Amino acid sequence: MNTAHHMFPFAATALLGVVLLMFTAHAQAPDAPAEPPSAAPPATPAPPAAPSETPPAAPAAPAAPAAPAAPAAPADPPPPAAPAYAADALLVIAHPSRAKEDIDAGWLKGAYLGKRTRWSDGSPIKPIRRKADSPAGEALLDRVLDMSESSFRRYWQKRQLSGRGVMPPMASSGRGLSQLIAANPNMMTVVSGAELSGAGAVHIVEVK
């Protein structure tokens, strides 16, 4: 028998066994673990927003305080009311500028008899007489001059003859006397308390 002929079946069988062994080993080999899915890369954070170039609005200026209302001008005080005098009171009325003059019975007597001829500022005193039958004229003769109307006239006749003055003029009535005195700083006269109503802006002195 040929030796080569006998070895071929053996070789084929051995080759077949090797192939089967490799196939079996490949079938029994564990599957390679699956690769874990790759994690997605973290998202890139967005850059911070650039600050606005617009400057912040300036704060509103405070409102100017309202100007205080001007105080109302005080009203002129009313002139003081004349004090109440008795109806038979003897009153001297003179210009308001003579308020500082020291007028009394002695001053009044000297003015009507021509012995006091100047106000304190040097201006001439210009007395006005009242009729003897008027309340003020009667009070002046009796309570201040201590004369009758006739004796008063004789007194002044003598003075005029000797050049020592002129007898004071006489008012025809008491109406308008206060307005006349208020307009003439050098004049003065006498009135009674009953005649004082509406005396106007004059300086008043009661003679006791």
Residue 16 domain flag: no
144 neighbors 105 (Cβ within 8 angstroms): yes
H helix intervals, 72-186: 105-112, 135-139, 149-161, 177-182
Residue 5, phi then psi, degrees to nearest 5: -65, -30
Residue 202 domain flag: yes
Residue 32 domain flag: no
Distance CA(104)–CA(58), nearest Å, equals 80
pLDDT score for 4: 45
pLDDT score for 3: 47
pLDDT score for 8: 46
Residue 124 domain flag: yes
pLDDT along the chain (208 residues), means of 10: 48 54 53 51 58 61 68 65 81 95 97 97 97 95 97 97 96 86 96 78 92
- Sheet of 90-94: strand order equals 126-127, 187-192, 90-94, 203-207
pLDDT score for 200: 65
- Would you state the structure tokens that stand for residue 93, as one six-digit string? 């009325």
pLDDT score for 195: 86
Dihedral, 156, 159, 161, 167 alpha carbons, nearest 10: -40
Residue 28 domain flag: no
Residue 133 domain flag: yes
Residue 98 domain flag: yes
159 neighbors 119 (Cβ within 8 angstroms): no
| CATH at residue 168 | 3.40.190.10
Overall domain count for the chain: 1
pLDDT score for 63: 67
Q: What share of the chain is helix, strand, coil (3-state, %, to 5)?
A: 35, 10, 55
Distance CA(2)–CA(16), nearest Å, equals 23
- Domain of 180, in residue numbers: 90-207
The SS3 of residue 164 is coil
Distance CA(135)–CA(141), nearest Å, equals 10
Residue 47 domain flag: no
